[in-house]
Structure 1
């Protein structure tokens, strides 16, 4: 059995699992016009992030919620552990989660530090760009992302509960959810995707040919894994493998983070009218852009 342990911030996990006796609007933190999960984010931490000191050998993963962040984080953790011939530790550092004490402790962590974030482009600490840190952008077709996000809300008491998919869809389309509009997120990144230190991959490409994407990721981050080592990473990070180990790696959050991992699950929720509404939004915001083309919308988002 693979050796695997988790050292994520337990306080953050417990906060997500709690069911605070608050109305939905009080579960969210509004910071500079964007909503965030108030159980794990704070104004003080966001202010501290403005002076965060990145390193040029940090490994940063950026994505809109429910687009494959945890998957890619585990992939990088396995790659680093194999190269160092050490036990794999899922020491996930989400930039905007936690408290000031955790923020300070991150400064002393040994390299390479693996960070993930759902922050919008303008909110990412500037030092990542000043240090030319390698940034991997993970995107997923918006219909599956919305579907997975809705299921996620139903699994976590610390997030607002929706009585129906229709109500969630309305908020999702208007950007009235944590981290704001999916379409604005991708459109903002589209302006910066050509930088030498940025690379974009899609959830769908990873599902289609994981080994090929592992090679691309390792080359981008300059992690010199052999073919045999990449095959081992593939074995350890298939969805089935991660789901099997999820109780040990993510505890009570395992079901929320590893539900299906499918492409096309949106067809079980979207009405024809909702599908057309999102099609129009995509045409307005992303059609013809580099990231819009990468999403292969016609293949993955049509009935």
Structure 2
């Protein structure tokens, strides 16, 4: 069928115009971004693997429990024995940087959308677009802007992983009981105090669920980013596919699964713990106000 409307042509013109006129800016961003990612990799690889495993196991023990700690210790040890330790650390560094950048943007946008119905109407279709667009498409502008490497992988990952954090932050704020907010206003609380002392604490569980989903989506995108030389486990998975190496594909895929389960369990545990703390803190605030 003959194409009647060529939207892609205008998108291509826009991307080419940006790359031609802001080449210096993109190079600067690439150098700074690669510096952060490679610096974090250097820092994490500088920690002996056994200390790294012990630290994550201790964190899992206190946040998840004995079962989570055992799985973390055995899973990370298996990854080391399979020879994927360096690739795993590279993947973690890319996930941490991408997730941090995504959350720094997503949480304020989510709060703004929860507070302003017009903003929410604009943001929702944009998030729909970001979530439903095939993940591979994000690699195209990423490579055009920053060439191949770690930063374009992080760039594509940020776009792909942001929507859950925005949506769940908005949902968390909107689900805070109105009577609690009105009671706070009656006690003379300002809008800023209501946000930081009531709404955000009560929305913590939902927001941390968004953080959890952002990390999971970042991990899935990091694997896809292996196609543009982002490094890590993604390149190993891709190598196994390209060479039809079933063993390499299975082992590297297993390492991704282990990493995903560990990150998922720990971040889920953080949401539960912080939710309980938020409720206790809110009760203490109201008790103090009533005594005053």
TM-score, normalisation: structure 2:
0.27
Larger RCO, structure (CA 8 Å, separation 6 or more): 1
**Structure with the bigger percentage of strand:** 1
Return the index of the structure with the highest Cα Rg: 2
Greater fraction of residues in helix: 2
